[in-house]
Amino acid sequence: MSKQAETKQEPVSSGRRQTLTGVVTKKSGDKTVAVQVETVEVHSMYQKRRLRSKIYLAHDEQNECQAGDKVMIRESRPLSARKRWVVVKRDKPSLR
């Protein structure tokens, strides 16, 4: 084997996949979590700010996220009928 084949390299990110930060609202099944992401939108005419929230189903490979954890999720290929996001890292574990 060559030296290059022996070294383990991280996959190179193309930079085209979106990342979002949110809070885990519930564990829904094995290796699946529901993540609530909040964004602030500004009205174009009135400049009024409003908080929008959306829930994404994300894949948790290590099955370690609990409700209340702050996580970062990244877009991926479709993993199931509704799951198109993967948990990249856990920022703050919940206090439970």
pLDDT of 68-94, one tens digit each? 999 999 999 999 999 999 999 998 776
- Say whether pLDDT at 2 is over 70: no
Query: How many structural domains comprise the chain?
Result: 1
Name the band, by pLDDT with cuts 50, 70 and 90, for residue 13: low
Q: For strand 49-59 and strand 32-42, is the pairing parallel, antiparallel, or unpaired?
A: antiparallel
**21 lies in some domain:** yes
The pTM assigned to this predicted structure is: 0.78
**3 lies in some domain:** no
**7 lies in some domain:** no
Return the percentage of the chain with pLDDT > 90, whole number.
73
Q: For strand 83-92 and strand 49-59, is the pairing parallel, antiparallel, or unpaired?
A: parallel
pLDDT confidence of residue 66:
93
Structural domain containing residue 73: 17-92
**4 lies in some domain:** no
